[in-house]
Structure 1
Amino acid sequence: MHNQAQGPIGIFDSGYGGLTIFREIVKQLPQYDYIYLGDNARVPYGIRSYETVYRYTLECVRHLFDMGCRLVILACNTASAKALRTIQQRDLPKLDPYRRVLGVIRPTTEIIGNLSQSGHVGILATAGTVKSESYVIEINKFFPQVKVFQEACPMWVPLVENNEHESDGANYFIQKHLNQLLTQSAEIDTIALACTHYPLLSSKISHFLPSHIKLLTQGEIVTQSLIQYLGHHPDLEERCSKKGEVAFYTTESTEDFDTKATIFLGHSVNSRHLEL
């Protein structure tokens, strides 16, 4: 009865950004066990080909399965855009049809049209996510009438990772990209932060945004989606262990990971190294 064994929920990201998703999930679902895996040795994923992102993501998903995870969340927009569907359709049936892998794009795209009055929505993301058109394609499936405008913000991730996101220097890059997005349409009334690093910039972003524009961060959306998913799949929910334990793994230096993770979580962590 191997598929009845209990295990933690795995949360995977190419680096640190997924910690904003992780933080929200643990806040609202503290009873479960979690393993967070950051593939920091091979970050960034955004600039890599589909094939490479797929290969790296599958490798990390397999490691999380080996650690006992029954459910893995790709808390990374690039991995969700470039690897999720292939893993779900091609690999899961062979690896273990009882395990599940979920992403962060769909939960956002299946509600965004309900939040916009004007039918004009904005996406702020990395260049890789913008180029993949994933948000445009997915939003179009759920809300064919909604117009989607995208803006790539290449400087935002380095600002966060270098702990400059509170600085005055960050203001220039935030204003620049918001202006470039809003220039595309004066009717945008809802904007999604489609990169998991960006919530750390959200107070500054809100400061420069007209007050009628809604700003969506993925952590809360993905958490709500996960709560619904577990409710609809009681068999899977029962296989998620519940001791409230959390472990962090990184493919890079644990010292670096622990220092940067503090920026995202607001408390210190003790990560372990995973050799790929």
Structure 2
Amino acid sequence: MESSRPIGVFDSGIGGLTVYRSIAKQLPQYDYIYLGDNGRAPYGNRSFKTIHEYTWECVQWMFNQGCPLVILACNTASAKALRTIQQQDLPNSPYTHKRVLGVIRPTAEVIGEYTNSNQIGVLGTKGTIQSNSYLIEIEKFFPDVKVYQQACPLWVPLIENGEYNKPGADYYVQQYLDEIMSQSAHIDTLLLACTHYPLLQDKIKTHLPADVNVVAQGDIVAVSLADYLQRHPDIEEKLTRNQDRRFFTTTDDTEDFDKHASLFTDDEVKSTYVSMKQ
């Protein structure tokens, strides 16, 4: 039997499932592995060194499961670990024939098309915002667009603890939206620059004027990945096509992971616990 060579989708927790769902819908023919590092989440307030260490460890684990390609469905990991992995780790590893992609560049390539006022607000973790990755990348593609940023450090813990759809979350949603919107009266587009945040998207919209676009990344990343595979047949031809989906988490409470994960995928999730060094 042919060994599985799936697309790997990695996140610090359950948030990356919003990207996985879009990718699997756009490209249903492939096999997929999802890994959530819930046991060490959230990543947003951790140091550059720690985020890189955790991310590279999880990427190598996915490579060892047969993945020729891993998507970092995590903005913090994309901002603080992707470049080092691509430029230093991969060339000096046994995995030089494998690839790792992130979510920031494909988003930056198109986000300017969503705004009429040329003013965008970026909502992200502390790590993503402090990296200025979106300021740098959007400037390359849309130099006329003004970008405002706001860290939302309490949103990921709310989501990871299953509090995102409860009334108490409204206070923290309102708090950070007030802070970003107070930076300019002309912001007409808000980018959810954390793959966890779409789980709060309905709440976010209720606290904003109807003419403000709220942009999630899932479909953007999925379209970009489809284009990447067309342009890189050397990677695409390695992928197996059995429509197999497997889910892994670094928390030993797999039942809790499965309960929340199943709300945000088109699949019934029954995950397997994976131990990573703490």
Q: Give the TM-score range, shorter chain.
A: over 0.9
Unaligned runs of 5+ in 1: none
Q: Aligned equivalents of 1:43 and 1:164: distance in 2?
A: 15
Letter aligned with residue 160 of structure 2: E
Q: Aligned equivalents of 2:123 and 2:76: distance in 1?
A: 13
Which aligned pairs between 1:185-200 and structure 2 lie closer than 5 A? 185-200=184-199
Name the counterpart of 1:149: 148
1:18–1:197: 8 Å Cα contact kept in structure 2? yes
Which aligned pairs between 1:41-60 and structure 2 lie closer than 5 A? 41-60=39-58
Could you say if the C-alpha distance between residues 207 and 228 of structure 1 is closer, same or farther in structure 2, counting changes exceeding 3 Å? same
Could you say if the C-alpha distance between residues 163 and 267 of structure 1 is closer, same or farther in structure 2, counting changes exceeding 3 Å? farther
Q: Aligned equivalents of 1:178 and 1:207: distance in 2?
A: 11
Secondary structure (helix, strand or coil) at the match of 1:46 reads coil
Q: Aligned equivalents of 2:39 and 2:165: distance in 1?
A: 26
Q: Aligned equivalents of 2:99 and 2:68: distance in 1?
A: 7
Letter aligned with residue 24 of structure 1: S
Residue 256 of structure 2 corresponds to residue 256 of structure 1: yes
Q: Per-residue deviation at 1:6?
A: 6.5
Which aligned pairs between 1:112-261 and structure 2 lie closer than 5 A? 112-253=111-252, 254-261=254-261
Q: Aligned equivalents of 1:268 and 1:160: distance in 2?
A: 19
Secondary structure (helix, strand or coil) at the match of 1:184 reads coil
2:44–2:153: 8 Å Cα contact kept in structure 1? no
Letter aligned with residue 84 of structure 1: L
2:80–2:127: 8 Å Cα contact kept in structure 1? no
Could you say if the C-alpha distance between residues 40 and 267 of structure 1 is closer, same or farther in structure 2, counting changes exceeding 3 Å? same
Q: Aligned equivalents of 2:144 and 2:77: distance in 1?
A: 27
Q: Aligned equivalents of 2:19 and 2:112: distance in 1?
A: 21
Q: Aligned equivalents of 1:16 and 1:123: distance in 2?
A: 21
Find runs of 4+ consecutive structure 1 residues off by over 3 angstroms: none
Q: Per-residue deviation at 1:145?
A: 2.3
Q: Aligned equivalents of 1:267 and 1:167: distance in 2?
A: 24
CA displacement 1:112-156 (0-9 Å, x = unmatched): 122222211001112221122111121122222221111122222
Q: Indicate the structure with greater helix content.
A: 1
Q: Aligned equivalents of 1:47 and 1:176: distance in 2?
A: 19
CA displacement 1:248-272 (0-9 Å, x = unmatched): 1112212332233234337641111
Name the counterpart of 1:105: 104
Q: Aligned equivalents of 2:99 and 2:274: distance in 1?
A: 22
Normalised by the size of structure 2, how large is the TM-score? 0.92
Q: Aligned equivalents of 2:54 and 2:272: distance in 1?
A: 19
Name the counterpart of 1:7: 5
Secondary structure (helix, strand or coil) at the match of 1:226 reads helix
Q: Per-residue deviation at 1:191?
A: 1.0
Name the counterpart of 2:35: 37
Secondary structure (helix, strand or coil) at the match of 2:61 reads helix
Q: Aligned equivalents of 2:43 and 2:165: distance in 1?
A: 25
Letter aligned with residue 271 of structure 1: S
Could you say if the C-alpha distance between residues 53 and 136 of structure 1 is closer, same or farther in structure 2, counting changes exceeding 3 Å? same
**Pick aligned residue for 1:61 from 59, 62, 68:** 59
Could you say if the C-alpha distance between residues 29 and 141 of structure 1 is closer, same or farther in structure 2, counting changes exceeding 3 Å? same
Question: Quick check: 94-103 or 265-274, which moved more?
Answer: 265-274
Residue 36 of structure 2 corresponds to residue 76 of structure 1: no
CA displacement 1:224-249 (0-9 Å, x = unmatched): 11111111112211111100001111
Q: Aligned equivalents of 1:129 and 1:116: distance in 2?
A: 21
> How many residues end up aligned between the 2 structures?
272
Normalised by the size of structure 1, how large is the TM-score? 0.93
CA displacement 1:198-228 (0-9 Å, x = unmatched): 1111122122222222111011111111111
Q: Aligned equivalents of 1:204 and 1:43: distance in 2?
A: 23
Q: Aligned equivalents of 1:123 and 1:206: distance in 2?
A: 15
Question: Quick check: 214-223 or 156-165, which moved more?
Answer: 156-165
Cα RMSD (Å)? 1.7
Could you say if the C-alpha distance between residues 162 and 41 of structure 1 is closer, same or farther in structure 2, counting changes exceeding 3 Å? closer
Name the counterpart of 1:270: 270
1:12–1:75: 8 Å Cα contact kept in structure 2? yes
